[in-house]
Each structure stands twice: as C-alpha cells, then as structure tokens.
C-alpha cells in the first residue's frame, strides 16, 4: 500500500497528544479516599496535590498512587466545598512527582484539549474541545470561579480532580463533575492556584456570613411603589441563626431583604456575592421591608462557620 | 500531486488525513448479516478470505457477508470464542485487500484512534477518538483496549485503527461510554489456536 503524504500529519498530531498526556500524566495521581473506584488529583506544587472536594470522603487514611506505581500517604490540608476543591500534602515531605506546567493564557472556544485521570494504576485520557468560555461565575455554594469553562468531552468515572491539558502539555484547569449537572466543567488554573494558596495558609477559604436563610419573593405593588427604583423582588428571611451577625443586628424572620449596601438583592446569589472573605468584620447595611415599611439595619459581617464532618 | 498535498496544513490536512485513513479502513471492512438482526462489521484479516468479527455478531454456523464492493457472499463460521467475543469467518472470495495491523500493547493514552463500522445501520461511518487505556494484560475485557470514542451497535466487529490506519483491535462493546476493543494480539492468539484445533475449517477457501 503506498505511503500517503498526509500520514505524517495525523501521526504528528497523535504524537503531540500522547506526549501531552505523558508529560502531564506524571503529575496526575490516583487518590484513595472513598469507597468504589479511586479519584484523580494533580500535583500543583512540590508535595501538594489538588483534588475534587466531593471525592475526598474521609479526612484521614488517604493514600495516593503515583505515576511510577509507588504508593504515598497524604494528609488533608483543607477543603473548599464552594469550588469543589481540596488540597492534600504528601505526608513524608519528599517532593513526589513534579508539578504540572500551567497554561498562562485563557482557554479559547474550539481549543483541542485532553482530560486526564488516574482512576487506577494507569493514566487514562479523553479528547475533546473547549465548548464555551464565559466570565467569572459563582457556584451554587457561593464559590467564585474566575472563568466559566465548559467542555465537550467525556468525563469518565474517577476523572474528577484530574487535569485538563492543552496540546502543548500544559494544565488548563482541574476537572470536576461536582459543580454542574450534565456538563463537564473545568476550574481554571488561576482559580485553583488562588484556592490552593488559601487552603495551605488557613485550611479553609474564608467567606463572609450573616446567618440568614432567605427565599425569593415578589414584592407587593404598594411596597414596590414605596421602595421606588422599579424593584419587583426581594428575599424573605425564613431563618435567623441564633447569635449570628444577623441576629445580633436585629434581623427578624419575616423581614424582606431588598438591598445590601444600596445594591438591590432579589436572589440568594446576590447575598453570597456581597459576602466575600474581605468583608469579614466590616459593617454592611441591610435594607429590609418590615410591616410594609422600609428600614435599615447595620450588621457586622461574620466569618462563615466551617463545614463540619 | 504530492506537491499540492504537501501544502495542506491545519484543519484541511487533518480532514484529508482522516478521510484517507477512513477510506483505507473501509476497504478492509465488511458487513456481517446473521439472520434478521441489524448488521455488524468484520475485518478482512487475510487476502485468502479470512474475516474476523465478534462472536456475538456471527451467530449461527453461517452468515452473509457484504464486501466493500457491494458483493454479498456466504461465509462459514470456522471458529468461535464467546469468552474473547471473537469469530473467524471464511469468505468464498479471494484476493481481498487485507488490513494492515499493529500491536495495541504499544499504544499510549491520548493517541488518536479511528473506528469504521455501521453504527445503527449507517454503513461505513467513521469515528475519531483517543486511546483511553492501552491493553493491560489482564484477562478478559477489563484488560482490553479502552478508547474514548463514540460507538454504537453496528460498530461491533469493525476495526479500531491507529493514526497510520493500522488495525489495533476490533470493537466489541461499549461500557460506561468507552469503546472496548479486542486487541490484535488476542485476535492473533485466537486465530492461532483455531488453526491448531481445526485446520481444515480455518483454512477453507
């Protein structure tokens, strides 16, 4: 059969992909911290492994399988459920596998990418493209992700915590199936680095906290008129944690929260967005409707209690 | 015109190369009809008329094979191994173009693979994917070639090939969205055993 002039092209592309998988695959580990199959993790700094929070189902007795088949034990340095990330430290202080190189540029729609995982002894791959890229977004648990990156590729069992890799063998992000239903998402490398820094320093990602549970409601027309500014919805307070910042600030069940620091709120996400870690200890002005009249309460933002268990 | 083809790069080069590999695979891929069920696929292994397919595709002692040129011929099932999901067919035709083959044990994760088959009745459809996990040497499907590729019923028995168009396995099942292929070295062992156990049948022409 005559050799074809295009053979070389496909072989070169195939080689590039396999080389990228091999290079980054050395930094992809298997994490044994749950029943069923192991999950994946990526060596992010020397001796530091990033994992998907939802795959780390116990806080101790965590072991890793490295690229060369060696087993290492690891300790949990911290977890951030809001971005579904957890950080492990290799226990014996030895360097372990080398950290993966990170892509400096933002992912682009149409970019060819590989997802790598190690849900067992061998590294495994899937191929696809970046299907959508958006701006900063907030997870349903209030975590801030620098960029929305949706993937058109198959994320197989045990791939959460694995690496998204570009054709040059650089890590674009850490994949997670725990952030959105029905779509594979990647947490961009910049967000991972930020969360890793916070978890290594504090063991958790600090977030502001008021201590209220709310539910969106449509404001009665009379209240809409008295508030002005065309605001149609607010958040009815359905619970106030005893001795929380909101409790101390005089918030009552049944109050309708309509603004925080003069910014209208009509969705629980609006409240999360106003409560970054930098607000802890600072006053925030709550505009609430109580008994049909608007009034203002000043609350000192607290630190969200850390998740137990 | 090699000079013109050498100018191709980027997406046009990818498309040309994929088209060429798909055509080359199509030339060694047959349709296998066993009774009223939808067709599976098979790979021409030897010019003399030896075709390899899945045991679950070649139900019964004889099947009808449609060659790439459209000829329908009868084929005897000369060997069958449900455990490895393999069957050898002897087609009453010779001088058939046979598949180029490569050992799947040398594959690396991320390498491109191309499948040709008849998914859901669409004859000679191609699919592109990558090696998910190379064969591990473990017994049975768990140790076979796992590919991140979109397959469907009708791909069964058809070729999975590397970027050079060399057959590295035949697609046998879909598990958890992954294509699982019987690797070439397992097929060679099966053919070797079939020949040793039943010479006359395996060599019928």
- What structural domains does chain A harbor? 1-202 (2.40.10.120), 208-303 (2.30.42.10)
Q: Do A14 and B163 touch (CB under 8 A)?
A: yes
CB nearest to B176's CB, from A4, A6, A156: A156
CB-CB neighbors (< 8 A) of A1 in chain B: 24, 100
How much is the pLDDT for B2?
46
B176 touches chain A (CB under 8 A): yes
Element (H, E) at B147: strand B145-148
Q: Do B130 and A127 touch (CB under 8 A)?
A: yes
Selection from A232, A233, A231, A237 nearest residue A217 by Cα: A233
Q: Do B131 and A125 touch (CB under 8 A)?
A: yes
> Which is catalytic among the residues B33, B48, B56, B185?
B56
Mean pLDDT (chain B) is 89
A82 is known as an active-site residue: no
Distances (CA, A) of B91 to B52, B54, B59, B73: 10, 15, 15, 7
Q: Do A156 and B177 touch (CB under 8 A)?
A: yes
Pair of tokens at residue B188: 């060679």
How much is the pLDDT for A92?
74
DSSP states of A172-203 as a string?
EEEEESSSSSSSEEEEEHHHHHHHHHHHHHHS
CB-CB neighbors (< 8 A) of B177 in chain A: 154, 156
B56 is known as an active-site residue: yes
Regions in chain A scoring below 70 on pLDDT: 1-7, 93-95, 181-182, 307-309
Backbone angles phi, psi at A211, to 5 degrees: 90, 25
CB-CB neighbors (< 8 A) of A25 in chain B: 109
How much is the pLDDT for A307?
57
If one counts the domains in chain B, the total is 1
CA distance B201 to B79: 8
Distances (CA, A) of A106 to A44, A50, A134, A187, A242: 18, 20, 10, 12, 44
> Which is catalytic among the residues A27, A53, A82, A84?
A84
Selection from A31, A51, A54, A52 nearest residue A42 by Cα: A51
Expressed as residue numbers, the domain containing B138 is 1-205
B110 touches chain A (CB under 8 A): yes
Q: What is the pTM of this model?
A: 0.80
CA distance B54 to B40: 8
How much is the pLDDT for A3?
46
Interface mutation target, options A2, A3, A4, A117, chain B, most CBs of B under 10 Å: A4
A69 touches chain B (CB under 8 A): no
B156 is known as an active-site residue: yes
A295 Cβ neighbours under 8 A, 6+ residues apart: A287, A288, A289
CATH assignment at residue B188: 2.40.10.120
User: CB-side exposure of A279: number of CA atoms within 13 Å?
Assistant: 21
Q: Do B14 and A9 touch (CB under 8 A)?
A: yes
Regions in chain B scoring below 70 on pLDDT: 1-8, 36-37, 197-205
Interface mutation target, options B9, B21, B107, B110, chain A, most CBs of A under 10 Å: B110
ipTM over 0.85: no
A20 touches chain B (CB under 8 A): yes
> Which is catalytic among the residues A160, A176, A244, A266?
A160
CA distance A186 to A150: 7
pLDDT digits (tens, 9 = 90+) for B71-117: 999 999 999 999 999 999 999 888 899 999 999 999 999 999 999 99
Distances (CA, A) of A119 to A28, A65, B16, B44, B77: 10, 10, 35, 35, 39
How much is the pLDDT for A212?
94
Q: Where are the alpha helices (DSSP H) in B29-179?
A: none
Q: Do A13 and B163 touch (CB under 8 A)?
A: yes
A113-152 residues touching B, CB cutoff 8 A: 114, 116, 122-127
How much is the pLDDT for A216?
92
Shortest alpha-carbon distance between residue A214 and chain B (Å) = 40
Burial A73-83 (b: 16+ CB within 10 A, else e): ebebbbbbbbb
CB-CB neighbors (< 8 A) of B109 in chain A: 18, 21-22, 25, 116, 122-125
Q: Which residue has the tokens 């029943």?
A: A35
How much is the pLDDT for A2?
43
Interface mutation target, options A125, A162, A165, chain B, most CBs of B under 10 Å: A125
Shortest alpha-carbon distance between residue A14 and chain B (Å) = 5
């Amino acid at each position: 059969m005559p050799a074809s002039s295009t053979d070389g092209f496909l072989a070169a592309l195939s080689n590039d992909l396999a080389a990228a998988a091999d290079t980054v695959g050395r930094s992809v580990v298997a994490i044994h911290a749950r029943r069923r199959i192991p999950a994946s993790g990526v060596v992010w700094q020397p001796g530091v492994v990033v994992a998907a929070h939802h795959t780390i189902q116990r806080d101790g007795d965590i072991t890793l399988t490295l690229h060369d088949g060696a087993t290492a034990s690891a300790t949990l340095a911290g977890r951030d459920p809001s971005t579904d990330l957890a950080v492990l430290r290799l226990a014996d202080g030895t360097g372990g596998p080398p950290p993966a190189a990170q892509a400096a540029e933002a992912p682009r729609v149409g970019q060819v990418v590989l997802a790598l995982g190690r849900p067992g002894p061998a590294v495994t791959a899937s191929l696809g493209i970046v299907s959508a890229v958006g701006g900063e977004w907030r997870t349903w648990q209030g975590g801030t992700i620098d960029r929305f990156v949706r993937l058109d590729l198959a994320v197989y069992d045990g791939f959460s915590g694995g690496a998204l890799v570009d054709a040059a063998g650089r890590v674009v992000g850490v994949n997670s199936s725990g952030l959105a239903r029905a779509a594979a998402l990647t947490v961009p490398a910049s967000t991972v680095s930020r969360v890793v820094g916070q978890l290594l320093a504090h063991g958790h990602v600090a977030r502001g906290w008021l201590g209220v549970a709310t539910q969106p409601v449509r404001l009665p027309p009379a209240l809409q008129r008295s508030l002005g500014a065309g605001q149609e919805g607010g958040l009815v307070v359905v619970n106030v944690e005893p001795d929380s910042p909101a409790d101390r600030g005089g918030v009552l069940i049944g109050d309708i929260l309509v603004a925080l620091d003069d910014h209208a709120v009509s969705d629980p996400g609006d409240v999360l967005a106003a409560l970054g870690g930098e607000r802890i200890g600072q006053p925030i002005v709550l505009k609430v409707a109580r008994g049909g009249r608007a009034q203002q309460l000043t609350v000192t933002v607290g630190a969200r209690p850390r998740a137990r268990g | 015109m090699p000079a013109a083809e050498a100018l191709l790069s980027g997406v046009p080069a990818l498309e040309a190369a994929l088209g060429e590999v798909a055509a080359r695979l199509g030339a060694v891929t047959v349709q296998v009809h066993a009774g009223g069920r939808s067709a599976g696929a098979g790979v021409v292994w030897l010019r003399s008329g030896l075709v390899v397919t899945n045991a679950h595709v070649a139900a019964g002692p004889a099947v009808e094979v449609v060659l790439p040129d459209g000829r329908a011929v009868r084929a005897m099932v000369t060997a069958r191994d449900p455990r490895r999901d393999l069957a050898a067919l002897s087609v009453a035709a010779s001088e058939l173009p046979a598949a180029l083959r490569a050992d799947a044990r040398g594959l690396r994760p991320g390498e491109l693979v191309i499948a040709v088959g008849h998914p859901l009745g669409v004859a000679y459809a191609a699919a592109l994917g990558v090696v998910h996990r190379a064969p591990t040497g473990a017994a049975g499907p768990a140790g076979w070639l796992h590919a991140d590729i979109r397959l469907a019923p009708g791909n069964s028995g058809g070729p999975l090939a590397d970027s050079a168009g060399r057959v590295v396995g035949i697609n046998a099942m879909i598990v958890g969205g992954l294509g699982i292929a019987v690797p070439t070295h397992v097929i060679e062992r099966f053919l070797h055993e079939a020949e040793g156990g039943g010479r006359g049948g395996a060599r019928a022409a």
